[in-house]
Chains A and B, each alone.
Chain A
Amino acid sequence: MFNPWMDFFPENLVNLSFESIHGLKGEKLEVEGLIRSEETLNLEGETETLNLKTFKKEDLEKRVFEISPLNDYVTVVGVDISLRKIGNTKNGVVCAFRGTVVWKDEYAYHYTRYGPLLYHLTENHAKTVFGLKFDGGNPNHNLGKIQFFVEKVFQKHVLRNLKNSIVLFDGCLSTQMVNVETLNLARKNNNRVLAFAKKSRLYSWSEPLKVLREKFSPCILCLNDLLSESFKSTCLGWVFLAKLSKENFLFRLDVDKTLALDEAVQTVRRLIGNEHFHHGYPETLRIAHSLSILTRVEVIAIQRFLTEKLGIKILRPENHRRMLFGPFGGW
């Protein structure tokens, strides 16, 4: 199965981590006063709103088809990463990355977790290492770019080491989030790539799409020909609305578009035959998310590590609202 050893891990990610944080010695790091429970990054494209072409409800219902599980064994692999900002320096931003690969064999779930790796991202790093151009104004925006970059490197690393598997990504198969080469690599190794999006919103006639809710058994609705041309041009997958368990949780499910539609549907059937679904969401992805997320305790631990090992001085930003308005300043 998946070869977890570090020999296969993208060297540039590790080296960049060591190099960039080494240059941090003795610097000052401004951290947020309040560490929130989830990532605070508001990434571009993370929440998508898809307005379908004006289709009548009856017409949409005709396009829904129920699917039955295919039980021939295939390994299901979930991949997720987490990138979290730790603080700002005078030249850039320090962030922590953690990536997790979870797979299920006949007996149990297994994982390999990489990180946390720390990066001090300056404009120089962005250009030389990532080949990205930093937007001077918004550090969070830059961090979003880095997240996509790191995610792509990580996806490639995973797919390079897998064969004959169904690989699940968190998000969607857009050009922003997945490289075409990565999907080619997947097919070369006989892997099927799918992506589950939690934050996409699907609307029809300005109303949330409710079709499939009445269905009891797993079913999917192919949306590709309903989407706008501009959307389709950035999308590398068949876009389905999927309900894969009895509970009324619907997800946008993308399947590698280079597969024929039949084959894409077969892959979804094989997935439901080989994976557990909790509220319609695959367990491997859920575990991968849980294991990769950087908790508030871990953020504090990272801050302590930076202070202890690199002599970094932690600064809290002045909160003018709090200073001016006291308890009415929104603590």
Chain B
Amino acid sequence: MKLFKKEDETIQILCFPDEDVRKGDYLMVEDFRSGRSLLVQVIDIRFANFPGLMEDLLRDELTEKIVFGDDFDPLGLETQITLLRDVRILLGKIRCSIEDGKLNMNISWLPSRTHSRVYKVDALRLVELLKLGKKRPLKIGEMNGGLELAIDVDGLDGGLTIITGRKGTGKSHLSKLLILGLVEYGAPCVVFDVNGEYVNLGLDKNGEKNKYYERIVVLEPTKNFKITLNYAGKHILANILTYTLGLPQTSLREFFRVWDETIQTNHLTIKKIVERVKVSNLHEHIKEALLSRLYTLERSGFFTDEEFKLVRVEDVLGRVSGGGVIVLNLSRLPNLERKIVVEFMLGKLVELLKRWFVKAIFLFAEEAHLYLRETYWEDIVTRMRHLGLFTFFITNQPDSIHEDIYRQVDTFFLFNFKNENDLNTITKVSKVDSESMKSITYSLEPYHCLAVGQATKEIPLIIKVKELPVKTMGETRKFFS
């Protein structure tokens, strides 16, 4: 391989077809004289354009269909000609510089064309250079060449992670792998499971209990997960009424007045509040607004007036505080009820984090746009993160995640996308240049992802996600099987 061109952080390398280099592979451009090297990731492979190549190919095309014959080539030059036609240009992006065996970000120098050697960096050497998986390794898959790759769980700590890609490319698979990895290190996780596909994490492939079984708590709102008004509290309920049920501020003020009156005289239930609203001297419109929202809450089945049916989030968190998962199964809930449950859950988790009931929680939110209110997006990347709620967004609709979230992301796992609009959306991630993202993402195979961020020491890596030892399928109903 020969260094051919450098423009900004893009490098072009001339490569013969007998050298096995693929998109995503790393190359080292080693300058003998300066003793420095550049670590370059291949983002595209193109044919080298030689003078006269067109006439050469054109001749083949013109003659091969109408003329048949033999070549007598005693010197075997035809193989050289064939080889030359397939000479490639590797388009690479400089990721970092290496000096005295240490990585640094000084990529402002230019290696010599004459005194440089270009060679492929094998996965093992790359992992050693990046010092990946040294502290708390989490095996998530393998790299090109079959080397098992472990990232440091610390890289996922305190940050925001996005897992995105087309349907069926392996996003949920990876998120399950990360959840179980975090559980192994004693981290409490909460999953907003819209498709009911995390409920079997405690079972192995044969459907038998696995080692995680006791650490997985599946909460089914309206069934084994109900709350009382008193437990929800005034603040959370106000958020539900305002953001989920769209109650105007004037009506909310009246609701608080009724709430305060009810709590002084009676045990707080939806029925008691309804009765008090009915007899109170309120404007008819406000009365109507409050009653309709209260009936909605009552009908949702998530609220109960019976204290013994109450499931306290802190109790459940207590069960997983040494490492475990609370799977909030939202798959059977209608849209509005799903939003009510999520609003409550997020409110309660923040409340518990504020009280230092738990140190931190890893929240996995699948298709969050289906249940997360507008104002929460910003909240999640700013306030909640500082309180200890570290979110993983998993989606196959990248445009459903706000642009701000992409800019703030700490670790990004990107699976295959083909659609130009999707590719344009993901390029807003500031971790890596848009050209690399588009080019690599477009050609990723299923269960292969491009990982970049804190977890990979900011160096983009292509990873083949490993197989999970647990029952991964959700409960999707199928006609033919």
Chain A residues near B (Cβ < 8 Å): 4, 6, 9, 14, 17-18, 21, 35, 37, 102, 108-118, 287, 290-291, 293, 295-302, 304-305, 308
Given A110-B69, A305-B75, the answer on whether A296 and B51 have CB atoms closer than 8 Å is yes
Given A116-B77, A290-B63, A301-B81, the answer on whether A295 and B55 have CB atoms closer than 8 Å is yes
Give the distance to chain B from A298, nearest Cβ to Cβ, in Å.
5
Is B263 on the interface with A (CB-CB < 8 A)? no
Beta-carbon contact of A112 and B80 below 8 Å: no
Is B101 on the interface with A (CB-CB < 8 A)? no
Q: Give the size range of B's interface with the partner.
A: 20 to 34
Give the distance to chain B from A138, nearest Cβ to Cβ, in Å.
26
Query: Interface readout for B53-66 with A: 1 if CB under 8 Å, 0 if not?
Result: 10110010011001
Query: Interface readout for B29-58 with A: 1 if CB under 8 Å, 0 if not?
Result: 000000000000000000000111101100
Beta-carbon contact of A102 and B81 below 8 Å: no
Beta-carbon contact of B74 and A297 below 8 Å: no
Residues of A within 8 Å of B55, CB to CB, are 37, 295-296
Given A298-B81, A300-B50, A301-B83, the answer on whether A290 and B72 have CB atoms closer than 8 Å is no
Residues of B within 8 Å of A115, CB to CB, are 72-73, 77
Residues of A within 8 Å of B56, CB to CB, are 295-298
Closest residue of chain B to A298 (Cβ to Cβ) is: B81
Is B67 on the interface with A (CB-CB < 8 A)? yes
Alpha-carbon distance A40/B50, docked complex (angstroms): 19
Question: Which of A35, A114, A118, A301 contacts B51 (CB under 8 A)?
Answer: A35
Question: Which of B50, B66, B68, B75 contacts A297 (CB under 8 A)?
Answer: B50
Give the distance to chain A from B463, nearest Cβ to Cβ, in Å.
37
Given A112-B72, A116-B75, A290-B59, the answer on whether A297 and B84 have CB atoms closer than 8 Å is yes
Residues of A within 8 Å of B74, CB to CB, are 6, 14, 17-18, 117
Is B128 on the interface with A (CB-CB < 8 A)? no
Alpha-carbon distance A117/B71, docked complex (angstroms): 12
Instruction: Please indicate which of the listed interface residues B53, B72, B84 has the most CB atoms of chain A within 10 Å of its own CB.
Output: B72
Beta-carbon contact of B80 and A304 below 8 Å: yes
Alpha-carbon distance A14/B50, docked complex (angstroms): 29
Beta-carbon contact of B67 and A110 below 8 Å: yes
Alpha-carbon distance A290/B84, docked complex (angstroms): 19
Interface residues in B423-446 (C-beta closer than 8 Å to A): none
Chain B residues near A (Cβ < 8 Å): 50-53, 55-56, 59, 62-63, 66-75, 77, 80-81, 83-85
Alpha-carbon distance A104/B56, docked complex (angstroms): 23
Beta-carbon contact of A297 and B81 below 8 Å: yes
Beta-carbon contact of B69 and A296 below 8 Å: no
Give the distance to chain A from B87, nearest Cβ to Cβ, in Å.
9
Closest residue of chain B to A116 (Cβ to Cβ) is: B77
Residues of B within 8 Å of A110, CB to CB, are 67-69
Residues of A within 8 Å of B66, CB to CB, are 108-109, 287
**A/B interface sample: 29 pairs, CB < 8 A:** A4-B70, A6-B74, A9-B72, A102-B67, A108-B67, A108-B68, A111-B63, A111-B67, A112-B72, A113-B70, A115-B72, A115-B73, A116-B73, A117-B74, A291-B69, A293-B59, A295-B52, A295-B55, A296-B51, A297-B50, A297-B52, A297-B56, A297-B85, A298-B81, A299-B52, A300-B50, A304-B80, A305-B75, A308-B80
Alpha-carbon distance A114/B73, docked complex (angstroms): 6
Alpha-carbon distance A299/B50, docked complex (angstroms): 11
Alpha-carbon distance A110/B59, docked complex (angstroms): 15
Residues of A within 8 Å of B53, CB to CB, are 296-297
Give the distance to chain A from B56, nearest Cβ to Cβ, in Å.
5
Residues of B within 8 Å of A304, CB to CB, are 80, 83-84
